[in-house]
Amino acid sequence: MVYTQKSTLHEVLQSPLGRDMLNTLLLQTGLPAALVQNPLVGAVPLSALKTLSGGKVDEAFLTSFTALLNRDGGILPRPAPGVRPARAWWKEAVVYQVYPRSFADASGDGVGDLAGILAKVPYLADLGVDVLWLSPIYDSPGDDCGYDIRDYQKIDAPFGTLRDFDALLAGVHAHGMKLIMDLVVNHTSDEHAWYREACRGRGDPRHDYYIWADGTPDAPPNNWQSLFGGSAWNWVPSCGQWALHLFSKKQMDLNWECPALRAEVYAMMRWWLARGVDGFRMDVINFISKDGLADGSPLLADVAGMCGVEHYFYGPHLHEYLREMRREALDPYDTFTVGETPALGLEAARLLTAESRRELDTVFNFDHLDNPGKNRYTPYAYDLHELKKYLLRWQCGLGADCWQSLFFDNHDNRRMPGKITSDPALQPAAAKLLAAVQMTLRGTPFVYQGDELGLGNARFDTPDELRDVEAINRYQALTAQGKTSAAAMAVAGYGTRDHARTPMPWNGGKNAGFTAGTPWLQLTEGWQRTNAAAEQADPASVWHFYRAAIALRHAHPALVYGEFQPVFTRSRAFADVFCYFRTLDGERFYVECNLTAKQVRRPAPLCGRLSPVLCSYGAPAAALRPYEANVYRVG
Ligand code: TEU
């Protein structure tokens, strides 16, 4: 089918990106998902949206939208229900994300390092994790805490050297674990040698490695906004051209249309793989193919919060580049890859991860990190009913030929237990609920450092306490608009990514045992009680619960590969619980969670005898207590 503005909303649903985008729109506006199934609504042609929206949907929007609709052949058919997922080591693994700057500091300079991580490998082995993902450790000026890379083949000095890296890798492998690296290849630092050479002028062989636009210094070539605020363009006098940066002013977008650039990226990946790394987490990998440089739609900028995104979040060559990368770099090795893919939905995830397509193993989708209509800068209490809706949709809808990633936290967001409840007394229960869900669903769990402690958020009252370039830019933009410093901090200090990046609290001693020096970022509130040593000494802690949940998953393939069968999903009386079975080869588990801070009635499923195997309150009771989560073996 070829999409035009005459296509109806019903037809739009037959296109992967159309289905995803309509779903996002309905979700964010709070309209019922069934709306487009209504025959009257479904018959509306796209062109009518211009009048219906009072002009908000404009010609430019419809042009890019129809281009996106035409990008794929149609919805990728799903395997029949009941088909089993193929087995793979990375499906059985529990991944642990280390934010190296804040994990453990062996040198005493206040910044975490590789030797510090090596010293904690036994801790991670004890917790039961199988794979470490290291956020970037490459040489970098540190404008975006290492996501701005100056040299892909050098370790950033505060973290150590390549020798330290080899020692860490050997230590990880010696414990039977694996290690994946962060691959940041949508952009490099403006201090990368490639960019410096590219800036010598249009004739330079590396000029084409980046994305340039002609023009004059007074007006950027289009209205695209950087995700960290302001125009997405830098004027480069030495070339008399504009250069694109979707993130900070020091993170310059690479031009993937240039074959020589792609070859260098693959060679760099092979270099790390030959060194022994086991795969990659790929930073904003869905942004690598740009669809020209036309203006972004103001409407989409409003909905998505990023102006221009429709021209790069699912570009025309994305699938082609990913397949080429798999062939050229990954195939000779036994790797695991996870793509970070902001703004993409379920159908796009299928196209990127279906086994037969040979692109990525899994992706990070972000629809669940904030409730619909909210973002990380809006103070609100996270409603777990929305998480249930999201998990039902993905667990039931992804298909057995694809594999989900299961995560609730990372280095870019306020920590989830603190989002769910501001009551510190309830946060451990919320953290245990998340652990129970994460370790009993189909997908690969990603534990972010500190999740296993139920770590909370921090307090940032003054701008000098911030380290996150995005939050600093936001603070500056707000004060430039006339807001007082306190008012600007109320926003920037609430939403800053620094909350997740505070040093890991190891014990109740000086600087929580993270460093002998001065930590580069303040500690999380409550670290005197919430730290690894204190929790290891307390059998009722979040840490012990996490460890038990991981061990349970490892012991039972039903929790990894088993069929997912939700129950009570249509019952109003049990709207506040999330309950499901996982079943494989006669082995069966039942999970029940209370999604609220109040006591709720415990539903009784129709099944064999239930024997509790993991209980967040020690043992089940007649009713479900606040955020209670229990796992039972059936029969
Ligand atoms: O983040 C990409 C990104 O856009 C995130 O802000 C994402 O949209 C958000 O987390 C969704 O909740 C990646 C890295 O994770 C981040 O640390 C980097 O700053 C960014 O890329 C640029 O490399």
In sequence order, what DSSP letters do the residues of 307-348 get, joined into one string?
A: TTGGGTTT-TTHHHHHHHHIIIIITTS--EEEEE-TT--HHH
| Pairwise CA distance, residues 309 & 288, whole Å | 12
Of 278, 291, 310, 340, which residue is the catalytic one?
A: 340
Instruction: Write the CB contacts of 353 (distance below 8 Å, at least 6 apart in sequence).
Output: 359, 360, 361, 362, 363, 402, 403
Given a cut of 90, whether residue 617 has pLDDT beyond it is yes
pLDDT mean over 69-95:
95
pLDDT tens digits, residue range 139-170?
999 999 999 999 999 999 999 999 999 999 99
Mutational pocket test of ligand 1: of 186, 312, 412, the residue with most ligand atoms within 8 Å of the beta carbon: 412
Q: How far is the CA of 412 from the centre of ligand 1 (A)?
A: 6
Residue 413, ligand 1, Cβ within 6 A: yes
Instruction: Write the CB contacts of 212 (distance below 8 Å, at least 6 apart in sequence).
Output: 236, 239, 241, 242, 243, 244
DSSP state for residue 216 in the 8-state scheme: -
72 annotated active-site? no
pLDDT mean over 522-533:
95
Q: How far is the CA of 342 from the centre of ligand 1 (A)?
A: 8
Strands (E), 389-474: 405-406, 444-448
Q: Whose CA is nearest to atom 7 of ligand 1?
A: 342
151 annotated active-site? no
pLDDT tens digits, residue range 443-494?
999 999 999 999 999 999 999 999 999 999 999 999 999 999 999 999 999 9
Contacts 24+ apart (CB under 8 A), 603-611: 603/567, 603/568, 603/571, 603/574, 603/577, 603/579, 605/567, 605/568, 605/579, 605/581, 607/581, 607/634, 607/635, 608/634, 608/635, 609/634, 609/635, 610/634
pLDDT tens digits, residue range 566-607?
999 999 999 999 999 999 999 999 999 999 999 999 999 999
Mutational pocket test of ligand 1: of 152, 284, 370, 376, the residue with most ligand atoms within 8 Å of the beta carbon: 284
Residue 342, ligand 1, Cβ within 6 A: yes
pLDDT mean over 486-515:
98
Indicate the burial class of 570 (C-beta count within 10 angstroms; 0-12, 13-18, 19 or more).
exposed
pLDDT tens digits, residue range 289-303?
999 999 999 888 887
Residue 147, ligand 1, Cβ within 6 A: yes
Q: Could you tell me the two tokens for 387?
A: 């998480």
Given a cut of 90, whether residue 25 has pLDDT beyond it is no
Q: How far is the CA of 549 from the centre of ligand 1 (A)?
A: 29
Given a cut of 90, whether residue 518 has pLDDT beyond it is yes
Given a cut of 90, whether residue 182 has pLDDT beyond it is yes
Of 283, 412, 535, 592, which residue is the catalytic one?
A: 283
Instruction: Report the nearest atom of ligand 1 relative to the CA of 227.
Output: 4
Instruction: Report the nearest atom of ligand 1 relative to the CA of 144.
Output: 19
Kind of pairing between the strands at 587-594 and 577-584: antiparallel
Given a cut of 90, whether residue 31 has pLDDT beyond it is no
| Pairwise CA distance, residues 489 & 463, whole Å | 7
Question: Which pLDDT belongs to residue 282?
Answer: 99
| Pairwise CA distance, residues 543 & 546, whole Å | 5
Question: Which pLDDT belongs to residue 299?
Answer: 86
Q: How far is the CA of 297 from the centre of ligand 1 (A)?
A: 21
Kind of pairing between the strands at 212-214 and 241-244: antiparallel
pLDDT mean over 85-104:
98
pLDDT tens digits, residue range 355-405?
999 999 999 999 999 999 999 999 999 999 999 999 999 999 999 999 999
Residue 283, ligand 1, Cβ within 6 A: yes
Given a cut of 90, whether residue 34 has pLDDT beyond it is no
pLDDT mean over 497-517:
98
Question: Which pLDDT belongs to residue 331?
Answer: 97
Question: Which pLDDT belongs to residue 383?
Answer: 98
Phi-psi region of 215 (alpha: psi -120 to 50; beta: other; left: phi over 0): left
Instruction: Report the nearest atom of ligand 1 relative to the CA of 247.
Output: 22
Q: Whose CA is nearest to atom 6 of ligand 1?
A: 412
Given a cut of 90, whether residue 81 has pLDDT beyond it is no
Q: Whose CA is nearest to atom 14 of ligand 1?
A: 283
Residue 468, ligand 1, Cβ within 6 A: no
Q: Whose CA is nearest to atom 8 of ligand 1?
A: 342
| Pairwise CA distance, residues 279 & 132, whole Å | 10
* Helix pair 318-325, 259-275: axis angle to 10 deg: 40
Question: Which pLDDT belongs to residue 55?
Answer: 85
Question: Which pLDDT belongs to residue 30?
Answer: 82
